[in-house]
Structure formats: structure tokens, C-alpha cells
Amino acid sequence: MRIFLILLVLFGSLHTVAQEVPIEGQKRIHFPHPMDTSWRISLGFTATTIPIDIAEEVHFRVPAGDIHAVKRISDKWYLDGRINFQIIQNLITLGPRWSTKINDRISVALGSDVGYWFGFINQQNIKTSGSGWQNYPNISFGYRFNKAILLTVKAESIMNFGIKSYAGEMQVTNDYRLFSGSAYSILLEQPFVGKKSMTLGFRAMYTDYFWQTWTLFESYDRNLFFPQLIVGLIL
């Protein structure tokens, strides 16, 4: 299915009649392209639906604040840092990106983000805490449409390790795979209002351990589907 979709995108691009809008000056944060500014920041939110298999009646879309920043290091290198926060549980990721242009329209980036999540919550008067490390090796392809519309397609591997969770003083043993799953994203970035641009995206995660579910102490060894909306205002 996804291969079909990728082909659809690429095929569609063949019909494009070019109206050139230079990439320089176009605000972007996910789009894989060498940076022409020193910094770029976006503020927004992500909303993830927890699968009904594990969330049961608490099956709703979980919003989290999203602060995303990229910092230019050199012509083709930049750093990508992100904080996904819900106060009671938060994820910080940081990783390098190497990106290059393939042609005027298409560009690519490779990266590997290291993440650390932590959370504290009082569950039924019991102090529960958890933390863990993650790694997201990733590859992104970018396609530059007319009218300053930037399309990013991204694939990530999801790795989990070093997970520790405690219910009160009791350590909870978590069973999970190092290679927990994968995620596939599609994002559109384009000018929205004034000089600000908007990111709209969708990320499909397939993983047997998603950090936001640490309080559920779930026991399944299945790659469950976690759909995630990504919305950001690029400043």
C-alpha cells in the first residue's frame, strides 16, 4: 500500500508545470535540504491515537506540545532537536542530519536521532515513574512543489533501550524489542500567514513499545499502529 502511495506521489510530480520559487528563504523544518539560515524553530503539537487494544476505554488522541529546532553546522550538516512534552511525560530527541540536493526539486537527508523520555505520575496514589532511551535512524526525501509547498516523506526505525519504570518502589519489568518497530511520515510545509509557515503532517508508527504508553504496563509483543498528527508553526 505504501509503495503504491509513494509511486503515486512520484508519478504526480511528473505532471508538474514549473513555476519556480527559490528554496532559499522558504521556511522549513522537516524538509530535508541543506540549510541556508543558522537556526529555524517551530512550535506546535502532535496528537497520537493510542490503539484501543491497550488503551481500552481511555482511547483518545493524546496531544503533546512540540518544539522543534534545527541548527546549521555546515553546508550539508545540521542538528535536529525536538521536545515533545506533556509535562507528566516528555521526550527529547537530538540528532545530526546530512542532506543534499539531488536536483532542483528533490533532496534527501539521512539522520539518527537519540531520544530520552521520562515521566512522573501519581496513579491511584502510587508514585509511578519511568524513563528510557530511544534511537531513530531515519531517511527523508523532499520534493519541492510550486508555490513554496514542500513535501517530505520520512522513514524511521524505532529502537528502545534502557527502559526503567517503577510503581512506588517496585521496579516493573518491561518486555520490549530493541528494534521495536518503524514509523513513516508525510509532511507538508508551506507559508501560512504573514511570514510564518505551517507544517501539517501525519506519522504512522508501528511499534511494540511507544513511550507515551509507559503507564499502561502493557504486555503485548505486537507492532501496534499508532497514528500521529503533526502540526507546527514555523517561526
**Would you say 38 or 179 has its CB closer to other proteins?**
179
Q: Binding marks (x or -) toward other proteins, 81..120, rule CB under 8 A?
A: ----------------------------------------
Question: Alpha helices, DSSP H only, in 29-106?
Answer: 52-55
Sign of torsion over alpha carbons 159, 9, 230, 92: positive
Q: Which helix (H) or strand (E) holds 81?
A: strand 77-85
Answer for which of 98, 116, 118, 217 binds other proteins (CB under 8 A) is 217
Nearest distance from residue 68's CB to other proteins, in Å?
18
Q: How far apart are CA 59 and CA 111, in angstroms?
A: 32
Between β-strands 61-72 and 39-49, what pairing exists: parallel, antiparallel or unpaired?
antiparallel
| Candidate residues 22, 39, 170, 179; the one interacting with other proteins per rule CB under 8 A | 170
Measured between alpha carbons, how far is 128 from 165 in angstroms, rounded to an integer? 7
Which listed residue (15, 20, 24, 74) binds other proteins by CB under 8 A? 15
Contact between 162 and other proteins (CB under 8 A)? no
By CB under 8 A, tell whether 200 contacts other proteins. yes
| DSSP codes of every residue in 172-235 | EP----SEEEEEEEEEEEEEEETTEEEEEEEEEEEES--GGGGGG-----S-EEEEEEEEEEE-
Could you list the residues that contact other proteins (CB under 8 A)?
1-2, 4-5, 8-9, 11-13, 15-17, 19, 47, 49, 52-54, 56-57, 59-61, 123-124, 126, 128, 145-149, 151, 167-170, 172-175, 184, 186, 188, 190-194, 198, 200, 202, 204, 206, 217, 219-223, 225, 227, 229
